Amino acid sequence: MVPLTSYLALAAILFCIGLYGVLTKRSLVIVLVSVELMLNAVNINLVALSSIGPVANITGQVFSLFTITVAAAEAAVGLAILIALYRNRKTIDSRKQDLLRN
Amino acid sequence: MIQYAWLIPVFPLVAFMLLLLFGKQLKEKAAYVGILALAVSFGMAVVILFERIGGQNYRYVLDWLNFGDTTITMGYEVTALNAMMLVIVTLVSLLVHMFSRDYLQGDDRIEVFYSYLGLFSFSMLGLVLSPNLLQLYIFWELVGLCSYLLVGFWYFKPEAAAAAKKAFLTTRIGDVGLLIGLILTFIYTGSFEYDVIFTAVSAGLLDQTLITVIALLVFLGAVGKSAQFPLHIWLPDAMEGPTPVSALIHAATMVAAGVYLVAVMYPMFIASATAMTVVAYTGAITAIFAASIGLVQKDIKRVLAYSTVSQLGFMMLALGTAGYVAGLFHLMTHAFFKALLFLGAGSVIHGVHSQDINEMGGLWSKMRITAVTFLIGALAISGIPPFAGFWSKDEIFAAVWASGDMLLFTIAVVTAFMTAFYMFRLFFVTFTGSYRGEHKPRESGPFMTIPLMVLAIFAIGAGLVNAPFTHHALTDFLIQGTSIGEQALASGWMMGLSVVIAVAGITLAWLIYGKGIVNRDSIKNTFATPYRILYNKYYVDELYINVITKPVVSLGNLLWSIDRNLVDGFVNFTANTARWKGGLFARVQNGQVQTYGLVTVIGGIMLFALAFLIRGYIG
C-alpha cells in the first residue's frame, strides 16, 4: 500500500508550487491557474486523510466534491474580474496593478 | 515751593503724553504745548533756586521696595547742586523748545519731535532730582534712550540712524561700568542712598582698592555719557540730529550728566587718589585731543561737537584736581555759551542751508543778531573777560595749578589757546569775508533770535556769580553743608596769562582767516601729514572698526555658519535618516497584490513556527 505520508507530501509539494505561482507569476491568468493548483492540493489532502482514522468513511471524498465545485465557481468569477480588469487597464501584468502604491 | 520740586519733571512728562495722544491733531501747535510745560518748569526751578540759596536741602522719599533689611526708596532731593542744574536744564530746554518751532517748521513729524523733547526734559530733570544711585541710573538710561530717539529723528537718513545707534551703544559701554559700580556699592554698603555710602567711605568701612574700583567704574559711566576719550566717538556723529537737539543734549544737558555724576559721587572720588588722577588725566587728554581735531573740521557743527568734548574734558580735569566748584561752574557757563553757539549755528544753517563753513562767509551783515550773539559765545568760550568763560576757566586753571601737576597745567593752557583759535577760525570763516554760497541768507525769526539773545545775556553775565568781587557766591552756595574742602582761587598772574593766551589764539585766527595774511592753504600744505591725521580724527573710528567691530562681526558670522551648517545640519541629518529608513520599508508598499500575499505568507509561517516552538511540537 502507498503510505499516507506520500499522499500528504504530494499535496504539500503541489500546494507550495501553487503558492509560488500565486506570489510570483506576472500573468494573472497563470496566477488563477496556480490558485486552482492549490485548491487541488487541498483536495488530495482531503481524500487521502479520509482513508484513515478509527472509523474510515468517505466523508473526505464527499467534501472534496464541494471544494471542486467551489473552485470552479471561483475560477469563473476570477476570470470575469480578469476580463473586466483587462478592459479597464489594457494589461494583465500583475506588476502593473499598483494603484495602492505608497 | 521747594516741596513741589517733584512737579518740575512732571510738566514735560505731561507734555510728552499729551503729544503722544494728540500730536497728530496738533501738528504745528505741538510746539506751544512743549514751550508752555517748560516755561512752568523753568519758573518753578527759579523760585526753588532762590529758596535754596541760604536754605537747606530738601528731601522727600517713599519706600519702593523692601527685601530683608534693605529698603530702596524713590523720591526727590533738592540740594544746592540740583537747584542749579534744575535752572540750567529747564532754561536751555525752554529756549530749545522755542527755537525748534522755527527750525523744524514744515517737518511732518514735528509733533513727534516735541514729544521726544518732553520725554528728554523729564528724564534729565528726574536724573538731577534723584535722591539715590538707583533712581539716577534709571533716569540715566532714559536719557540715553532719548538721545537715541532725538539723534535718529530723521531716521530715513542712513547716517542719522547709524549715528543714533553708535551713540546708544557707545554710552551703553559706559553704562555697564556704572551699573557694576552701583552693584558693588550696594553689595558693600547695603544701600543706594548717598549719605549711607559716603558715611561708609569716610568711616573707612570700605577697602581702599574697592573704593578706587568703584570710583573708576562710575567714572567709566561718566566717560561714556560725557564723551571723554576713548568713548568720545559718538558725539561728533550725533551731529546728524537736528541742531536744537545738539544744543540741548550734546552741549548743555545730557553730556553734562557725566560731570554731574562725578560731582554727586565726589566723596567717593576724593577718597581715592588714583581715581582722581585718572579723572584728571582723562579730562586733560580728552581736552587737548578734541581741541586739536576741532582745528581742522569743515562742518560747523562738528567743530562745536569737538569743542564740547574738549570743554567737558576741562570739567573732568577740574574735578580730578579737587576743583569741585570750578568744574561745576564751568558746567554752568558752558551750558549757556555752548547752547548759544549751537543755536547760533542752527540759525546759520537755517539761513544758508548748508553746514560746510566753506559755503558760508559774509554773514555778519546778513544775519546781524545771529552774528553778534555768536561772537559773544565765541568770546565767552575763549575766556575773554568779562564774559562767563573767563571766570570759570580761570578757576579750572587755579585748581590745576594748586594740584602741582605741571603737565596738566601745560595741557590746559595749550588747549585754551587752541580753543580760542578754532572758535575764532569758525567765526571768521563763517561771518566775515564774502558769502561763498548760493542761497540768500536772511536773519531768522524771533522764535530763533530771542533764545539767542537770552543765552547771550547769560554768556556775558553768568560768570559774575563766582567772581572775586561777588565774593565767590557760587562757591559758598555749592560747598556749604558738604564735606568738600577749600577751593583754589585764581591769582592775578593767572588771569593775565589766560587773557594773553586767549588773545593770542584769536589773533592767530584773525591773521589766517580774518585778514588772510597767512594763507590757509599754505598751512595745510606745509603740515600735510598732521593735517590729515587731525582731519581724520586720529583715525580712532577706523581703529575701533578694525580692532573691535570687524573681529566681533566675523566671530558672529562664524557662529552663524556653525549654527546654520552644524546645528541645522544635524537636525536635517536626523530627519533624513528617518526618511531613508521609512523609504526602505515603503518598498513593501508597492501596490502589488502579490507582494502583500508574500508578506502574508511569510507572516503566517512565522506565526506557525512560533506556535509550534511554544507548544513543543518542534525544537
Q: What is the pLDDT of residues B93-105, one digit of tens each?
A: 999 999 999 899 8
Check B590 against A94: CB less than 8 A apart: no
Query: Mind telling me how many Å the CA of B596 is from chain A's nearest CA?
Result: 9
> Which member of A19, A22, A98 has the closest CB to residue B592?
A98
Cα nearest neighbour of A28 on chain B: B594
DSSP letters of B530-583? HHHHHHTGGGHHHHHIIIIIHHHHHHHHHHHHIIIIIIHHHHHHHHHHHHHHHH
Cα nearest neighbour of B597 on chain A: A23
Q: Is A12 on the interface with B (CB under 8 A)?
A: no
> Which member of B586, B590, B597 has the closest CB to residue A23?
B597
Q: How many residues are given for chain A? A: 102
What is the C-alpha to C-alpha distance for residues B3 and B1, in angstroms, rounded to an integer? 5
Q: Is A19 on the interface with B (CB under 8 A)?
A: yes
Cis peptide before B131 (omega within 30 of 0): no
Q: What is the mean pLDDT of the segment spanning B47-68? A: 85
Read off the C-alpha cell for B208: 581702599
What local confidence, expressed as pLDDT, does residue B92 receive?
Answer: 93
What local confidence, expressed as pLDDT, does residue B469 receive?
Answer: 67
Closest-CA residue to B414 (of B326, B229, B285):
B285
Percent residues over pLDDT 90 in chain B: 46
Check A101 against B589: CB less than 8 A apart: yes
**Residues 27-46 of chain A whose Cβ lies under 8 A from any Cβ of chain B:** 31
- Residues in chain B with CB shorter than 8 Å from the CB of A24 are 594
Q: What is the mean pLDDT of the segment spanning B485-498? A: 77
Confirm whether pTM is higher than 0.90: no
Question: Does residue B490 register a pLDDT over 80?
Answer: no
B354-411 tens-digit pLDDT = 888 788 888 888 888 899 999 999 999 998 888 888 888 988 998 888 888 889 999 9
Query: Mind telling me how many Å the CA of A65 is from chain B's nearest CA?
Result: 27
Q: Is A5 on the interface with B (CB under 8 A)?
A: no
Question: Does residue B466 register a pLDDT over 90?
Answer: no
> Which member of B586, B593, B598 has the closest CB to residue A97?
B593
Question: Does residue B479 register a pLDDT over 80?
Answer: no
B270-324 tens-digit pLDDT = 888 899 999 999 999 999 999 999 988 888 999 999 999 999 999 999 999 988 8
CA angle B284, B289, B291 (to 5 degrees): 100
| Segment among B67-81, B151-165, B224-238 with least mean pLDDT | B67-81
B8-56 tens-digit pLDDT = 999 999 999 999 998 888 888 888 999 999 999 999 999 999 888 877 7
Query: Mind telling me how many Å the CA of B598 is from chain A's nearest CA?
Result: 6
Q: What 8-state DSSP symbol labels residue B67? A: E
B139-162 tens-digit pLDDT = 999 999 999 999 999 999 999 999
Check A98 against B590: CB less than 8 A apart: yes
Counting one residue from chain A and one from chain B, the pairs whose CB atoms sit within 8 A come to 30
Residues B305, B249 contacting (CB under 8 angstroms): no
Q: How far is CA B157 from CA B148, B153, B241, B311, in A?
A: 14, 9, 10, 29
Query: Mind telling me how many Å the CA of B583 is from chain A's nearest CA?
Result: 10
Question: Does residue B518 register a pLDDT over 70?
Answer: no
> Which member of B589, B592, B601 has the closest CB to residue A94?
B592
Q: How many CB atoms lie within 10 A of CB B68?
A: 6
Check B594 against A23: CB less than 8 A apart: yes
- Residues in chain B with CB shorter than 8 Å from the CB of A31 are 594
